[in-house]
A and B are shown apart, each in its own frame.
Chain A
Amino acid sequence: MDMNEFIEKIKEVLEIEDREVNESDLFRDYDEWDSLAYLSVIAFLDEEYEIQMEEAEFNTLKTIEDLYNVTKK
């Protein structure tokens, strides 16, 4: 999955429909971001990439690009 596809997936997961999402965005600043959105993202990482990430590690991720890079490890 390239960055563009990843961004499309993340928009679905976070239910962002009305605007662009960029790789440099700080996703915690989104209006859509809350504890439920967090659960959706970790479920997405597990389902799509078999990544089981704990909160302490997740908290080190800041941007959409950080999230994308995790999936490439």
Chain B
Amino acid sequence: MSFITYNGVGITALSAAVPKRVINNYEYTEFFPADEVREVVDKIGVFERRFADAETCSSDLCYAAAEKLIIDNDIDRSEIDLLVFISQTPDYRMPATSIILQHRLGLPNSTIAFDINLGCSAFIYGMSVVYAMMENSGLRKALILDGETRSRVYSAKDRRTAFIFGDAGVAALVERDNKFGESTFSLNSDGSRENLIKINAGGYRNPSTPETLKEKVVDEYGNIRSDEHGYMNGGDVFTFVNREVPRDIKNTLEYSKRDKDSFDYIIFHQANNFINSHVAKKLKLDTSKIPSTIEKFGNTSSVSVPLTIVSELKDKMAGEKSLLMSAFGVGMTWATAVVPFVDLQISDIVEV
């Protein structure tokens, strides 16, 4: 087991963008009867989510969030020395979307830019990567852009995934400042579970063919998808998360000598309410400290942790705040972080 700690680095400003189009889940009944939809929606606790239109990519949501962040905080673009784009729904297979965003945001050619492809726990992974680079002298400001259009990934005819996912993008400004105390990260991976959440075809192992695009009935419940849709074994994801995440949180708290009740807020990846409420109960956490956006934005994969901060903690982050973050998902990967914030600037959510 390993932990990484950083000092004197932190997120100073956060912004988010979501698509204008609201999906009311009770009315998302094109492929399933309304009573069945109601039962699923009540179980997962996702009542609304946002879907991007066909022309809008993750990068467009991140671009809107980044422009808002830059303007609201009067950031000098020439001082942004690092840009990391986090997504599993990039614009192209190549080049990396971060490079396109460097140009689009008017950042200098001296900006270091690269993508991180990881899934639900990626914002915490990305924070750790950026904190590591920023802790050293040299780089002035860093941007983490994290966006997902998961609405494109899953089949609307597969009830295991049709009602869960939504689209969003965030931008985070990371700076070096002695006002920030210690951050601790625990980052984990288990590739033996690669089959729990997966898009089987369309990469280089199973390239795209007319066959991989064909929709098929895939199980005894009559769910329909193609090999290029994402699938999820929800039961085993639930079991996996319940085994690994509480353990990782306990170990991280022990390492950082913190009590679970010592945080101002606890931010979980918004997977679905069924998993999240179970984990919170299992860890006997104070639910009044756990903001939730699953009911209005659904599961936005890696975006859900920072989106929940932007949406629920605006005007609540003045002064010094200590947050516990936990995220888990496709890979499988899971991450826990103990992170200080000082006077975090949060912009209003932009609708695109």
A interface residues (Cβ-Cβ under 8 A, vs B): 34-36, 38-39, 42-43, 46-47, 52-55, 58
Interface SS of chain A: helix, strand, loop or mixed? helix
Interface SS of chain B: helix, strand, loop or mixed? helix
Q: From residue B128, how far is it (CB to closest CB) to chain A in Å? A: 27
Quick check: A38 and B40 within 8 Å, CB to CB?
no
Interface residue? B239 (CB, 8 A): yes
Given contacts A34-B221, A39-B235, A54-B239, contact A46 B278 (CB under 8 A): yes
Chain A residues whose C-beta falls within 8 Å of the C-beta of B235 in the assembled complex: 35, 38-39, 42, 54-55, 58
Interface residue? B32 (CB, 8 A): no
Quick check: A43 and B274 within 8 Å, CB to CB?
yes
Chain B residues whose C-beta falls within 8 Å of the C-beta of A52 in the assembled complex: 239-240, 242-243
Chain A residues whose C-beta falls within 8 Å of the C-beta of B234 in the assembled complex: 35, 39
Quick check: B278 and A47 within 8 Å, CB to CB?
yes
Q: From residue A47, how far is it (CB to closest CB) to chain B in Å? A: 7
| Cα distance A34–B238 in the bound complex, in angstroms | 16
Chain A residues whose C-beta falls within 8 Å of the C-beta of B39 in the assembled complex: 36
Quick check: B238 and A39 within 8 Å, CB to CB?
yes
List 6 tightest A-B contacts by C-beta distance, closest first. A52-B243, A52-B239, A55-B235, A46-B242, A54-B236, A55-B236
Chain A residues whose C-beta falls within 8 Å of the C-beta of B242 in the assembled complex: 46, 52
Most-contacted residue by chain A among B233, B242, B274 (CB, 10 A): B242
Q: From residue A46, how far is it (CB to closest CB) to chain B in Å? A: 5
| Cα distance A68–B235 in the bound complex, in angstroms | 19
Most-contacted residue by chain B among A38, A43, A46, A53 (CB, 10 A): A43
| Cα distance A36–B242 in the bound complex, in angstroms | 17
Quick check: B40 and A42 within 8 Å, CB to CB?
no
Q: From residue A22, how far is it (CB to closest CB) to chain B in Å? A: 24
Given contacts A36-B39, A52-B243, contact A43 B233 (CB under 8 A): no
Given contacts A52-B239, A58-B235, contact A43 B278 (CB under 8 A): yes
Quick check: B43 and A39 within 8 Å, CB to CB?
yes
In the assembled complex, 24 residue pairs joining A and B whose CB atoms fall closer than 8 Å, in A order, are A35-B221, A35-B234, A35-B235, A38-B235, A39-B43, A39-B234, A39-B235, A39-B274, A42-B238, A42-B239, A43-B238, A43-B274, A43-B278, A46-B278, A46-B282, A47-B278, A47-B281, A52-B239, A52-B240, A52-B242, A53-B239, A54-B236, A54-B239, A55-B239
Q: From residue A38, how far is it (CB to closest CB) to chain B in Å? A: 6
Chain B residues whose C-beta falls within 8 Å of the C-beta of A38 in the assembled complex: 235
Chain B residues whose C-beta falls within 8 Å of the C-beta of A42 in the assembled complex: 235, 238-239
Interface residue? B160 (CB, 8 A): yes
Chain A residues whose C-beta falls within 8 Å of the C-beta of B233 in the assembled complex: 55
| Cα distance A16–B24 in the bound complex, in angstroms | 30
Q: Which residue of B lies closest to A58 (CB)?
A: B235
| Cα distance A43–B272 in the bound complex, in angstroms | 14
- Knowing that A42-B239, A47-B282 are A-B contacts, what are 10 other residue pairs whose CB atoms are under 8 Å apart, sorted by A's residue number? A34-B221, A35-B159, A36-B39, A36-B43, A43-B274, A43-B278, A46-B278, A47-B278, A47-B281, A52-B242
Q: Binary interface profile of B, 218-259, with partner A (CB < 8 Å = 1, else 0)?
A: 000100000000000111101110110000000000000000
Chain B residues whose C-beta falls within 8 Å of the C-beta of A46 in the assembled complex: 239, 242, 278, 282
